[in-house]
Amino acid sequence: MPSSSPAPIKQLTLEERRERRRLRREKQRENNILRAAKMHRVRLKMESEGLPPPPDLKKTIFVGCSGWRYWKWRDSFYASVPQANWFPHYSSAFDTVEINASFYSWPTVANVQAWRRQPGGKDVVYTVKVCEIITHVKTFKGTKTLIRDFGVIADILGEQMGCFLFQLPPSYRYTKARLTSIVSQLDPARRNAVEFRHKSWWNEEVYRAFREAGIIFCSCSGPRLPDELVRTADEVYVRLHGPERWYRHNYSDEELLKWADRIRESGAKRAWIYFNNDYDAHAPANAKTLHRMLAPLRPKQRRPRTA
């Protein structure tokens, strides 16, 4: 009996691929709502049992990458490293990482517990990007409860918790009402960093409100954004995406030294720096270089100008 040849794989059109992505994202957002509801119940239970005070971090400099699982790195940063060992390899080079998967998919308690076990005894601190339900779907409209629910992640991670990163879309321009909405809803018990993608947020009204609330203004190296370090709290937070093209820039030593000087001169007691230029594996190499430059950092005891 002759063997039948496999059916040819149908090539999807551009419109079909877009529709498939749209349906997948729609399903994911539905799941996020269900996961958020479950974490809300977990928060109420944990609060009724009493929560321990947040741990005090000893380190003053955290430099890492925005994510660690990138196929584009397999022939460079992860060369000869089995995929199962990628995180151990990453954590041998860096003591912090930004978790970006939490932006698209609200983490479950099991997810967070897995993060906690993942370093295998190594001293790794996570910064967690807040789910898009809060920042992109609801855009801080009636999200105070959701923000508190998401904060359970910090209580589970304990000493492995760094910052919560709230990233707003480029279309989200500054208004006084939006500023008030953000400041009034963030939980002051957490270490909150807010990243804007529209230059209108680089203004003194925002700096003043963030200073009064203890919110960290995320300084960005990105196209069409102000190239400066802004300090609004005792700690500074920097994301380096690439000044000319998103996610593709290879920072020169001169460019990195400029950021190292800014961070030193800020007088901040702690600095969080993450490279989000993952194309061509620039992020790991750039992060290693900047970390070396900042190794002898000693925070100065003076308050600098905020921008």
Does any domain span residue 55? Answer: no
| Res 305: pLDDT | 46
**Would you say residue 304 lies in a domain?**
no
pLDDT at position 296 is 66
pLDDT digits (tens, 9 = 90+) for 61-95: 999 999 999 998 999 999 999 999 999 999 999 99
Of the pLDDT bands very low, low, confident and very high (cuts 50, 70, 90), residue 16 is: low
pLDDT band, residue 4 (cuts 50/70/90): low
Q: Residues near 290 by Cβ (< 8 Å), separated by ≥ 6?
A: 63, 251, 256, 259, 260, 273, 275
pLDDT > 90? residue 209: yes
pLDDT tens track for 35-62: 999 999 999 999 998 877 777 898 999 9
CATH number of the domain residue 168 falls in? 3.20.20.410
Question: What is the CB neighbour count within 10 angstroms for residue 198?
Answer: 15
Q: Give 239's pLDDT tier (boundaries 50, 70, 90).
A: very high
- pLDDT value at position 292? 95
Please check whether residue 184 is in contact with residue 160, taking contact to mean a CB–CB distance below 8 angstroms: no
Instruction: Give domain status of residue 9, yes or no.
Output: no
How many domains, the chain? Answer: 1
Check residue 299 and give its pLDDT: 46
State residue 178's pLDDT score: 98
Asked if the structure places residue 159 within a domain, the reply is: yes
Q: What is the pLDDT of residue 5?
A: 57
User: Does residue 4 sit within a domain?
Assistant: no
Domain containing residue 64: 15-49+60-294
Answer for the pair 208, 215: CB distance below 8 angstroms, yes or no: no
Residue 249 has pLDDT above 80, yes or no: yes
In a domain, 233, yes or no: yes
Residue 120 located in a structural domain? yes
Question: For residue 278, what pLDDT is reported?
Answer: 76
Q: What is the reported pTM?
A: 0.89
Burial (CB count <10 Å: 0-12, 13-18, 19+), residue 178? middle
Cα–Cα distance measured from residue 72 to residue 279, given in angstroms and rounded to the nearest whole number: 7
Residue 32 within any structural domain of the chain: yes
